[in-house]
Structure 1
Amino acid sequence: MTLASMIATVGGTGYLRPAPGTWGSLAALPLAYGLHQLGGFPLLAIATVICTVLGIWATAEVTRGKTNHDPSEIVVDEVAGQWLAIWAISYPAWSKGIEITALWPGWIAAFVLFRLFDIWKPGPVGWADRKEGPVGVMMDDVIAGFLAALGVIALAGFSHGVLGL
C-alpha cells in the first residue's frame, strides 16, 4: 500500500464494509480525542488543516488516471470533516479547562450531524460534491463538518440556554 493510499483510506479503514464513510467518521473520533488530549484545540485545528491538504494530495494520487474521482474507500475526507465538527466541543473544552469527555452529548451530536449532512448533502455540501477532482472530494465533507459544528453550537445553546441543562 502506498503512502497516498494509506492516507486516503486512513490506514485501510476505507475498505471496511458496509458504509465506509461512517467507518471513516468513527475512526476520526478517537483520533480527535487523542489530538485534543495532546495539544488541545490548537493541535486539533492544525491537524484538521494538514489532514485536508494531505487528503487533497492523496486523493489526487489515488484517483490519477481513473474515471471514478471519489471511490468509496477514500475516507480521509470524512476524517477532516468530522474533526471540523468536533471543533465545536474542542474549543470550549480547551478554552474553559473542561475535560472534553464531559461534553459527551456534543460528541454524539457532532457525529450524527456530520453523517446527516455528508449523506443528505444540502446546499453548499451538494455543490462541492458535484465538483470534479480531489478538492471537490474533500470540500463537501469540510463544508458538512462546518455545518455540523454550527449545529452542535446551536444545540448546546438550546440545551444550556433554553432548557437550562
Structure 2
Amino acid sequence: MINQDIQSTHTQPTCKLLVSHPAHFFALGFGSGLAPKAPGTFGTVVGLPLFWLISTYSITTQLVLIGLLFLIGIYFCEKTGKSLGVSDHGSIVWDEIVAIMLVLTFTINQWQWWLAAFLLFRLFDIWKPVPIRQCDAKVKGGLGVMLDDLLAAIYAIVSLKALEWIITQL
C-alpha cells in the first residue's frame, strides 16, 4: 500500500515537462530520457555526438568542459528530480551523457574502442559495483544523480585502459 502511495506522487515525464524549463530539457537528455525502455542507454547514445563536438580540443579543454557540464548537471538533475517527485528518476539522463563524454576523453578514437567504452560504461552504470551502489544509496539530489555515473565512468576508464594495456602486450 505504501509503495502505491509513493508511486502516485511521482510525475511521469512528458514532452510538456521537457519543454517547460531548460533544466528539464537538458536533464531529460533533449528528449532521449523519454524513451519508454532503456532511457539511460538512449541518453548514453546522445553523449557520443556531443563528445565528438569537443573531441578536437585539447584534453585539458575537454576535461574543463565536461567538469562544467557535470556541475551544471547537478542543478539540472536536482530541479528535474523535484519536478518528477523522484531524485534519480530513470528519465533523467544528463548524468549518462556527461559520464560517457568523460569515458570517451580517455578512449582511443576508433569505433571499436568507442563501442567498448559504451558497453563498459553501461555495464558499470547498471551493475553499480562497490562503492557506486553505496554512493547511490547515501548521496541524494542532483549531486547523487551525477556522482554515481561519474564513478561508473571511472570504472569504465580503468577497464578500458587495462584492456588497452593487455592488447598492447600481445
Q: Same fold (TM over 0.5)?
A: yes
TM-score using structure 1 length: 0.84
CA deviation profile, 1:66-99 (whole Å, cap 9, x unmatched): 541111111000011111211222xxx6xxxxxx
Counterpart check, 1:21 vs 2:29: no
Asked if structure 2 preserves the Cα contact closer than 8 Å seen for 1:85 and 1:147, the reply is no
2:78 to 60, 67, 81: 60
Judged with a 3 Å threshold, the aligned counterparts in structure 2 of structure 1 residues 150 and 8 are, in CA distance, closer, same or farther, namely same
Give the match's secondary structure for 2:131. Answer: helix
Equivalent-residue separation in structure 1 for 2:84 and 2:105 (angstroms): 34
TM-score by length of 2: 0.82
Does residue 152 of structure 2 align to residue 157 of structure 1? no
Whether 2:139 is the aligned partner of 1:120: answer: no
Cα pair 1:36 1:43 within 8 Å, conserved: no
1:36 paired with 2:55, answer yes
Are the counterparts in 2 of residues 9 and 73 from structure 1 also a CA contact under 8 Å? Answer: yes
**Identity across matched positions, percent:** 32
Runs of 4+ deviating beyond 4 Å? none
Partner of 1:10: 29
SS of 1:58's equivalent?
helix
Q: Which amino acid aligns with 1:148?
A: A
Give a deviation string over 1:79-137, Cα, whole Å, max 9, x none: 11111211222xxx6xxxxxx3xx32221111111000000000021122112211111
Task: Indicate the SS of the match to 2:29.
Answer: coil
Distance 1:49 1:157 in 2: 27
**Conserved? CA contact 1:51–1:80, under 8 Å:** yes
Q: 2:154 aligns with which of 146, 153, 157?
A: 146
> 2:83, 2:118 → 1: CA distance?
33
